[in-house]
């Protein structure tokens, strides 16, 4: 694809999204960036395995914004999993819906981005980082900013539930900005529901500030429709002695790209990244993770696992950057894949750049088939082949599932994973 | 109980078993011995249904049914048990975890009622004593970080839980110290009934001091070249396999 095509898409999107009067500066800069750089071309290293611009060109027929779909309390309630008691934030094609949301009176503050300008927005996920961040900056229409004050322990999780539907393949641009101040603790859960099977492009940006000694968990389920094209840019600034843990479980979609960046900005902080992708059909999921160790005595742990059937494709790119100052860094990374079909593909690439000399860093990746010997062993004990397969795959996936900190959400995701392992594999 | 007739089997085009004939009756213990590479473990694997092996000729009848027609899990449910020479490690799956499913599959097949969690646990506790195995071990990932002795005891524990009619012990004694060997053999002996039979595949006569066979068969180049009583094992211990090889070679000329 030429520059003309990639700019064509960016220009079309920009042309069809009306100017809004807030966030003028960031929008202006982002537009200028996009008009210059365009969306990623297929040969660009960062998007080498995930030709998202080409996909958009083929699938998306209307590059305008998706307007809110018909959504009511009944539809919403169907998607609230059993055992959930916390706060519920509903987004309809990326637009925050106050009348469908629910609050339990927990102590944090909350802004709707289109009503009240969030001055810090765009300071963590910077425009020039990724063209899709710039695109989100230039075009987002709604979203929320959440502020958890100093020393606040938010006991029940905050569930961000997104409903997507674009009948002509329009664009959905969700935006989140979260600040968790010193010593505060909070858990976020996220799920996206496709209301029908029509294609759409969801281009989301999430920014999280985890201030000194704060602790944040963020678990995300991706089980969108087979036609959904999704790009998520998720970036966190993690300050001194703070911890941030991300779990991303991907089950479906057409093409999904997750950019996850953890900036470990000071000593004593910890960043954990866990991921599971369970793919079949032609689903393509690309997890690009990036952890930046800037100061001494910080730790990062990463475990991504994939099970791929049919013609699905998984991409894992794990970058660990250890700057010269970041002595005594501990950074661990692991990516394991099981291919269940000859037509399934995995591209995995650890990318370690280490400039400090007194660090412990390890990485490993494996890709293989289901262990035939283990399968035979279980059969020889009386388990049917399918049952034995399911058990082995579930055991493989379980190591990631157990990292989801919220019990009810873990249970909810586990059931989805078990359903998948019991049926289409 | 088990009739093996002219069994030929090969792996990747190499013929390993070249006409095995064997008749096993209920209540009997048969030892299969032989030098390395003679086909002992292949025989055990073919009986349990390992897919890599291709049976090219012959038949195996188990309690009136064609064993070779059955999938490995059907054989297990019919009452065939293989104690693995190299028990596999399965991360994330504990013995307790899969064994309840396995036991209930087997019970269902035999028309018995499924065991609920409480009953299963009490049966488990009883059988654990047989092989002196700790419950903690059974809750850990299967065989991961187990010692050699623990792995083999776990095999015999599973055998006790599944109550097979025909048990095949594939070099269960290899690598065991004398204490572990005694525990394992003791377990096997206690499980012996007039209705069940055991095939003991071994390289060492030592095991047969503990599990006393009714018959000893010597396998060489994929055939049973000599059969006898337990005294044959002692003779092999003393004289090695060379005389058997010579006898076999001269007989085949």
Residue B252 has pLDDT above 80, yes or no: no
B143 CB neighbours in chain A (<8 A) are none
Name, of A311-320, B136-145, B165-174, the range with top average pLDDT.
A311-320
pLDDT at position A100 is 96
- A216-263, pLDDT tens digit by residue? 999 999 999 999 999 999 999 999 999 999 999 999 999 999 999 999
Contact between A142 and A126 under an 8 Å Cβ cutoff? The reply is: no
What is the value of pTM for the model shown?
0.89
Q: Please give, rounded to a whole number of angstroms, the shortest distance from the CA of A337 to a CA of chain B.
A: 14
Backbone angles phi, psi at A133, to 5 degrees: -70, -45
- Judged by DSSP in three states, A335 sits in strand
Over range B34-61, report the average pLDDT.
93
Chain A residue at shortest CA distance from B106: A382
Out of A359-363, B220-224, B246-250, least confident range: B246-250
Residues 157-196 of B with CB under 8 A from A: 158, 162
Q: How far apart are CA B217 and CA B224, in angstroms?
A: 6
pLDDT at position A239 is 98
Q: Cβ B98–A379 below 8 Å, yes or no?
A: no
CA angle at residue B230 from B214 to B84, to 5 degrees?
A: 70
CA distances from A330 to A223, A322, A326, A359, B63 (A): 33, 10, 10, 6, 60
Residues 7-66 of B with CB under 8 A from A: 48-51
Closest C-alpha among A190, A160, A196, A228 to residue A71? A196
Average pLDDT, chain B: 92
**Which is more confident, B100 or A5?**
B100
Angle, helices B117-130 vs B148-162, to 10°: value is 130
Domain ranges (residues) in chain A: 8-266, 371-425
Q: Cβ B90–A392 below 8 Å, yes or no?
A: yes
Residues of chain A with pLDDT under 50: 1-2, 424-425
Closest C-alpha among A162, A127, A164, A123 to residue A143? A162
Chain B residue at shortest CA distance from A373: B88
Which percentage of chain A shows pLDDT scores above 70?
98
pLDDT at position A313 is 97
Find tokens 């990318």 and name the residue: A351
The Cβ of residue A149 has, within 10 Å, a number of other Cβ atoms equal to 15
pLDDT at position A1 is 44
pLDDT at position A44 is 86
pLDDT at position A365 is 94
Looking at A268-329, which runs of residues are DSSP E strands? 270-279, 284-293, 299-308, 313-322
Residues 302-341 of A with CB under 8 A from B: none
Q: Please give, rounded to a whole number of angstroms, the shortest distance from the CA of B93 to a CA of chain A.
A: 6
Residue B14: pLDDT band (50, 70, 90) is very high
| Interface ipTM | 0.95
Over range B143-155, report the average pLDDT.
92
pLDDT at position A424 is 41
CA distances from A417 to A121, A334, A351, A424, B163 (A): 35, 21, 29, 11, 34
- Measured between CB atoms, which of B73, B88, B103 is closest to A385? B73
Q: How far apart are CA B151 and CA B132, in angstroms?
A: 12
pLDDT at position B169 is 94
- B115-132, pLDDT tens digit by residue? 999 999 999 999 999 889
Over range B189-216, report the average pLDDT.
92
Q: How far apart are CA A13 and CA A1, in angstroms?
A: 18
Q: Cβ B71–A379 below 8 Å, yes or no?
A: yes
């Amino acid at each position: 694809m030429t520059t003309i095509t990639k700019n064509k898409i960016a220009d079309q999107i920009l042309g069809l999204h009306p100017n809004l009067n807030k966030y003028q500066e960031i929008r202006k800069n982002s537009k200028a960036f996009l008009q210059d750089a365009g969306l990623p071309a297929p040969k660009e290293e960062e998007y080498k395995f995930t030709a998202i611009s080409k996909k958009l060109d083929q699938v998306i027929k209307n590059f305008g914004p998706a307007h809110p779909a018909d959504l009511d309390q009944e539809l919403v309630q169907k998607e609230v999993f059993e055992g959930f008691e916390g706060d519920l934030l509903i987004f309809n094609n990326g637009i925050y819906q106050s009348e469908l949301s629910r609050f339990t009176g927990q102590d944090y503050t909350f802004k709707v981005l289109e009503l009240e300008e969030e001055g810090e927005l765009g300071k963590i996920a910077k425009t020039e980082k990724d063209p899709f961040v710039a695109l989100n900056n230039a075009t987002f229409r709604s979203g929320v900013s959440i502020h958890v004050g100093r020393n606040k322990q938010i006991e029940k999780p905050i569930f961000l539930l997104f409903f997507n539907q674009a009948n002509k393949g329009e664009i959905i641009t969700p935006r989140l900005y979260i600040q968790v101040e010193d010593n505060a603790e909070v858990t976020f859960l996220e799920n996206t529901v496709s209301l029908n099977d029509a294609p759409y492009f969801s281009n989301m940006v999430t920014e999280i500030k985890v201030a000194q000694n704060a602790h944040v968990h963020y678990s995300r389920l991706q089980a969108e429709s087979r036609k959904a094209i999704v790009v998520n840019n998720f970036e966190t600034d993690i300050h001194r002695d703070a911890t941030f843990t991300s779990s991303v479980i991907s089950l479906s979609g057409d093409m999904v790209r997750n950019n996850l960046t953890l900036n470990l900005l000071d000593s004593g902080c910890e960043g954990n990244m866990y991921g599971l992708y369970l793919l079949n059909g032609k689903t393509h999921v690309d997890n690009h993770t990036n952890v930046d160790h800037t100061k001494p005595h910080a730790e990062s742990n990463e475990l991504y696992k994939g099970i791929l059937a049919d013609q699905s494709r998984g991409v894992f790119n794990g970058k660990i950057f250890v700057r010269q100052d970041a002595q005594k860094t501990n950074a661990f990374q692991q990516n394991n894949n099981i291919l269940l079909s000859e037509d399934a593909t995995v591209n995995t690439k650890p990318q370690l750049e280490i400039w400090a000399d007194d660090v412990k860093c390890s990485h490993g990746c494996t890709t293989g088939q289901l262990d035939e010997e283990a399968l035979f062993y279980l059969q020889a004990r009386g388990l049917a082949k399918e049952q034995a397969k399911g058990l082995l795959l579930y055991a493989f996936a379980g190591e990631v599932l157990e990292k989801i900190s919220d019990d009810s959400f873990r249970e909810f995701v586990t059931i989805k994973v078990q359903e998948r392992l019991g049926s289409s594999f | 109980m088990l009739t093996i007739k002219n069994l030929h089997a090969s792996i990747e085009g190499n013929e390993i078993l070249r006409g095995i004939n064997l008749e096993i009756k209920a209540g009997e213990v048969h030892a299969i011995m032989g030098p390395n590479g003679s086909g002992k473990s292949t025989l055990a694997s073919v009986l349990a249904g390992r897919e890599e092996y291709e049976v090219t000729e012959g038949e195996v009848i188990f309690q009136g049914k064609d064993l070779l027609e059955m999938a490995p899990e059907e054989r297990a449910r019919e009452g065939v048990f293989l104690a693995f020479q190299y028990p596999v490690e399965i991360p994330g799956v504990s013995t307790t975890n899969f064994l309840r499913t396995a036991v209930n599959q087997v019970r269902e097949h035999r028309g018995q009622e499924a065991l609920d969690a409480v009953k299963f646990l009490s049966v488990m506790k009883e059988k654990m004593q047989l092989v002196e195995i700790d419950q903690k071990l059974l809750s850990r990932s299967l065989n991961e970080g187990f010692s050699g002795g623990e792995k083999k005891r776990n095999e015999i524990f599973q055998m006790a839980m599944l109550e097979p009619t025909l048990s095949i012990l594939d070099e269960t004694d290899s690598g065991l110290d004398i204490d572990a060997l005694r525990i394992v053999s003791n377990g096997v002996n206690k499980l012996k009934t007039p209705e069940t039979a055991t095939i003991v595949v071994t390289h060492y006569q030592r095991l047969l001091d503990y599990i006393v066979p009714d018959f000893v068969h010597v396998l060489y180049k994929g055939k049973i070249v000599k059969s006898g009583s337990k005294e044959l094992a002692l003779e092999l211990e003393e004289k090695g396999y060379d005389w058997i090889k010579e006898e076999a070679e001269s007989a085949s000329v």
